[in-house]
C-alpha cells in the first residue's frame, strides 16, 4: 500500500485520512483543496500500514469502495472524530454485505483497463484525461490482493457515521 499527502498544512493538527478504492491514484484528487492535512492510501498490492498517526490531534476518515473494507481492518485501533463510507462495506466481498465473490472473480478474470475506464467515466472521459492508472497487469494483481484480503478474517470493526 502506498500513501501520499494530497494537502499539507503544517499549521493544522487535523488529518483527513482517505482510503481510495481499487485503482485509485493521487492524480484522481488533484482538484482537492483543504486547510486540513489530507492523506490518500491507495495501491493495495500489499496491506502494510507504515504511517504514524500520532502527529495529529484529530482524525477524520473517508473511505471509498474497497477502501472501506481495507480501512475497516487496518484502522480499527484508531479513534476518528468522523468516519464516512462511500459505496463500500466493511466486508468488501460477501454474499450479503459486499460484492458476491463469484462476481468479483469474474471481474478479476475478465478485467480490461479500457472497459474499466469506460464504465467508470461514461461520457465524462474528458474530465479524467489527466488521471493516472497503473498498467493492466498491476491492476489485476491489485484485484487479486483485494480479493484475498477481503475474504481473510472477515470482521466488521468500524461503525461508520455516514454511509
For the chain, domains (ranges, CATH) are: 2-151 (3.40.50.1820)
The pLDDT value recorded for residue 156 is 87
pLDDT range class, residue 153, cuts 50, 70, 90: confident
Rounded Cα distance between 22 and 99, Å, is 13
Residue 103 confidence (pLDDT): 97
pLDDT of residue 75: 97
State pTM to two decimals: 0.94
Contact of 16 with 37, CB cutoff 8 Å: yes
Asked if 41 and 73 touch (Cβ cutoff 8 Å), the reply is: no
Measured distance CA(158)–CA(77) in Å, rounded = 9
Place of cell 498544512: 9
pLDDT at 122: 85
Residue with cell 462476481: 103
Contact at 8 Å (CB) between 89 and 68?
yes
Mapped onto helix, strand or coil, the DSSP state of residue 25 is coil
Residue 4 has pLDDT above 90, yes or no: yes
Say what the pLDDT of residue 104 is: 98
Tens digits of per-residue pLDDT, 107-147?
999 999 999 999 988 878 777 788 999 999 999 999 999 99
Question: What is the overall mean pLDDT for the chain?
Answer: 95
> What gap in Å lies between CA 113 and CA 117, rounded to an integer?
6
Specify the pLDDT at position 157.
84
- Give the pLDDT mean for 67-95: 97
Amino acid at each position: 500500500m502506498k500513501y501520499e499527502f494530497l494537502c499539507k498544512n503544517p499549521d493544522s493538527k487535523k488529518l483527513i485520512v482517505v482510503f481510495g478504492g481499487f485503482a485509485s491514484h493521487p492524480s484522481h484528487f488533484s482538484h482537492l483543496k483543504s486547510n486540513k492535512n489530507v492523506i490518500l492510501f491507495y495501491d493495495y498490492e500489499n496491506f502494510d500500514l507504515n504511517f504514524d498517526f500520532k502527529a495529529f490531534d484529530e482524525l477524520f476518515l473517508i473511505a471509498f469502495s474497497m477502501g472501506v473494507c481495507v480501512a475497516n481492518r487496518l484502522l480499527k485501533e484508531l479513534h476518528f472524530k468522523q468516519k464516512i463510507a462511500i459505496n463500500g462495506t466493511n466486508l468488501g466481498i460477501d454474499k450479503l454485505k459486499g460484492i458476491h465473490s463469484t462476481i468479483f472473480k469474474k471481474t478479476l478474470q475478465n478485467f480490461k483497463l479500457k472497459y474499466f475506464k469506460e464504465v467508470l467515466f461514461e461520457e465524462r472521459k474528458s474530465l479524467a484525461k489527466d488521471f493516472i492508472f497503473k498498467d493492466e497487469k498491476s491492476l489485476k494483481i491489485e484485484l487479486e490482493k483485494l480479493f484475498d484480503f477481503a475474504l481473510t478474517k472477515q470482521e466488521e470493526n468500524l461503525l461508520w457515521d455516514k454511509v
